[in-house]
Amino acid sequence: MNGKKGSCVEINIPSSDTTKSTKQQLESGKKKSAGNGGDLFSCKAWIEKVWEFAKEDSNRVIFSFKVGLAVLLVSLLILFRAPYEVFGTNIIWSILTVAIMFEYTVGATFNRGFNRALGSLLAGILAIGVAQMALSSGRGAEPFIIGTSIFFIGTVTSFMKLWPSLVPYEYGFRVILFTYCLIIVSGYRMGNPLRTAMDRLYSIAIGGFVAVLVNVLVFPIWAGEQLHKELVNNFNSVADSLEECVKKYLEDDGLDHPEFSNTVMDEFPDEPAYRKCKATLNSSAKLESLAISAKWEPPHGRFRHFFYPWSEYVKVGAVLRYCAYEVMALHGVLHSEIQAPYNLRITFQSEIQEVASQAAELVRCLGKDISNMERSLKTCLLKRVHSSTERLQRTIDMHSYLLTTTYCDPPPPPDNNSSKSVVLLPKLSSDLSNQLAELESKSLDKDSTPAVVVQGESYHEMMRKQSRRLHSWPSREVDAFAFEEEGGVDFLPRMRALESTAALSLATFTSLLIEFVVRLDHLVEAVDELSKMAKF
């Protein structure tokens, strides 16, 4: 969490605050409802919440105390008589500087300090130049020149800070504007703009110096370290959510789905990893801002050499995000209304499970390598993932007739050639029900769900149930006229079309899983590139 930048990163859904501290809020909610008795209890709950929050990341407390220390140190310059007599009232600018410059990480503080220093310097030079010009042009013209220059500086800095490549220096432009105005105006009223400018620069420099010193020397919070951890966490989130998603897909018996309308915007409380994965998708801005900050940091801790490739972290994060998009798509299939029947899903259980767990292991292993700053060959793991992916492909291939239609009466023949296939299909269908019956008995061995007799009829029964669920799409008017139009007569073929689509949803799931594996190669390459450049 990184001050202002943090706020952009974390807010992404209307109820983002809930997302962040759900645990605490749930707890407090529980306590509020339980402890209506006294204020004492709610106060205790509140303290517990704060304690939890502080314990979650001790850097938060450290940061707070560091800010307190920095402003205290600067205030001492005024509270003690000696420095005050040297610097005068201008020393209050150093307090302002500390309060504005002190950021969460060392790099961000350096960055902000750079903006402030360069901005102040530029503004000082400009102000002195213009003030000298105004002075030499006579008392009458002076206010006009000063006024015009203020308008001009205000306009130009505001326009420049909108320029895309200058947006990161937005703060610097603000500093230029107000420092310029302050120096030139107080120079005009109090005389000697050069003196004003120098005094102010001194005190700003003192403030900046104190801020940097406290930030670097007292329990430094390095942006690089944070970036490193954040990336590793992202790897783990993607691995977790992949496993979670596949596990749910294979566990789910397809009947306890909540309404899609309730879940599309939902937090999926029973899927903690999905939430983390979604956070990964929105982490690009956070990684980027941490990388910008990290570039300002000197070599430190485990990152010992100059020009450490922080921007490479952002690139790896982007490739990882492309993998996460696939997980999001898998999650979409998991929660879509058109679902492959449970029996069909269970057919490929072991293959899907194997691919998913091996892919997740590879992702986790890559994350661990980055975390330990090691470089290890991923050939063995990659080989295993690829061979199990191939096994999945082959299994799908072998059983692909399961994914085809289950027509019992011939549809209108599309042309002369394909009429042959129409004749063949009913046989496939009967074969399918046999297959399903066998699978059902297999799945019954595993978990003791209530036995469903699977024959041609009961399978259709199940599908009809499913299609009914499908028709409860939120837009009721559409449903109404759809039934009206078709008058129930056309219902059966339509339902069968849905059956086929439902079966194909399994194909979608596996295709997306395979695509995830394909993207893993790029991830391995990106991590390899990073470890080369960072000299792991």
Residues 461-520 that bind a second copy (CB under 8 A): 473-475, 477-478, 481-482, 493-494, 496-501, 504-505, 507-508, 510-512, 514-515, 518-519
**Residue closer to a second copy (CB basis): 205 or 523:** 523
Pick the stretch among 111-119, 248-256, 269-277, 423-431 that binds a second copy (CB under 8 A): 423-431
Residue 4 as a binder of a second copy (CB under 8 A): the answer is: yes
Q: Quote the DSSP letter at residue 259.
A: P
Which string of x and - marks every residue 286-305 that binds a second copy (by CB under 8 A)?
--xx----------------
Decide: is 447 part of the binding site for a second copy (CB under 8 A). Answer: no
For a second copy, the closer CB: 192 or 418: 418
Q: Which stretch binds a second copy (CB under 8 A): 29-37, 155-163, 240-248, 458-466?
A: 155-163
Nearest to 258 by CA among 273, 248, 272, 250: 248
Output DSSP code: residue 401: G
For residue 399, the minimal CB distance to a second copy (Å) is 7
- Which residues, in sequence order, are bridge partners of residue 300? 303
Site for a second copy in 350-369 (CB under 8 A): none
Q: How far is the CB of 261 from a second copy (least distance, A)?
A: 6
Q: Which of 46, 51, 65, 483 binds a second copy (CB under 8 A)?
A: 65
315 binds a second copy (CB under 8 A): yes
Should residue 3 be labelled a site residue for a second copy when binding is judged by CB under 8 A? yes
Helix, strand, or coil (residue 144): helix
Token couple for 482: 């759809």
Q: Is 219 exposed, middle or buried (0-12, 13-18, 19+ CB in 10 A)?
A: middle
d(CA 108, CA 6): 12
Which member of 47, 69, 86, 125 binds a second copy (CB under 8 A)?
69
Is residue 157 within the footprint of a second copy (CB under 8 A)? Answer: yes
CB 213 within 8 A of CB 110: no
Spatial distance between the Cα atoms of 124 and 194, rounded to a whole number of angstroms: 8
d(CA 91, CA 110): 21
Angular region, 513: left φ>0, alpha ψ -120 to 50, beta rest: alpha
Three-class DSSP category at 224: helix
Of 118, 121, 150, 452, the one binding a second copy by CB under 8 A: 150
d(CA 216, CA 199): 26
| C-beta of 29 vs 302, nearer to a second copy | 29
Residue 227: closest CA among 276, 272, 283 = 283
Residue 274 binds to a second copy (criterion: CB under 8 A)? no
Least separation, in Å, of the C-beta of 287 and a second copy?
A: 9
Using an 8 Å Cβ cutoff, are 94 and 77 in contact? yes
Q: Pick out residues in 236-265 that bind a second copy (CB under 8 A).
A: 260-261, 264-265
Query: What backbone phi and psi angles, to 5 degrees, belong to 220?
Result: -60, 140
531 belongs to the binding site for a second copy (CB under 8 A) = no
Looking at the Cβ atoms of 118 and 185, the one nearer to a second copy is 185
Residue of 26, 162, 218, 408 interacting with a second copy (CB under 8 A) = 162
The distance of closest approach from Cβ of residue 210 to a second copy in the complex, given in angstroms and rounded to an integer, is: 12
Q: Which is nearer to a second copy, 288 or 369 (CB)?
A: 288
**425: contact with a second copy by CB under 8 A:** yes
Report the candidate in 157, 156, 180 with the shortest Cα–Cα distance to residue 170: 157
DSSP label of 169: G
Q: Which of 233, 284, 357, 371 binds a second copy (CB under 8 A)?
A: 284
- Binding segment (CB under 8 A) for a second copy, from list 35-43, 178-186, 218-226, 446-454: 178-186
Q: Is 375 in the site for a second copy (CB under 8 A)?
A: no
C-beta of 37: minimal distance to a second copy in Å? Answer: 26
d(C-alpha 57, C-alpha 383), whole Å: 38
6-14, 28-36, 224-232, 348-356 -> range binding a second copy (CB under 8 A): 6-14
The two tokens of residue 333 are 């299939």
Residues 479, 296 contacting (CB under 8 angstroms)? no
Least Cβ distance, residue 164 to a second copy (angstroms): 4
* 303: β partners: 300
Size, binding site for a second copy by CB under 8 A: 166
| Least Cβ distance, residue 33 to a second copy (angstroms) | 20
User: In this chain, which stretch among 65-73, 224-232, 353-361, 460-468 interacts with a second copy, using CB under 8 A?
Assistant: 65-73
Other CB atoms within 10 A of residue 294 CB: 27
| Cα 511 to Cα 332: distance, rounded to the nearest angstrom | 13
Binding mask 9-28 for a second copy (x = CB under 8 A): xxxxxx-xx--xx-------
248 vs 471 by CB, closer to a second copy = 471
* Residue 263 burial (CB count, 10 A): 12
Q: Does an H or E element contain 231, and which?
A: helix 223-251
Burial 379-389, CB ≥16 within 10 A → b, else e: eebbebbbebb
Cα angle, residue 292 at apex, residues 289 and 293 outer, rounded to 5°: 90
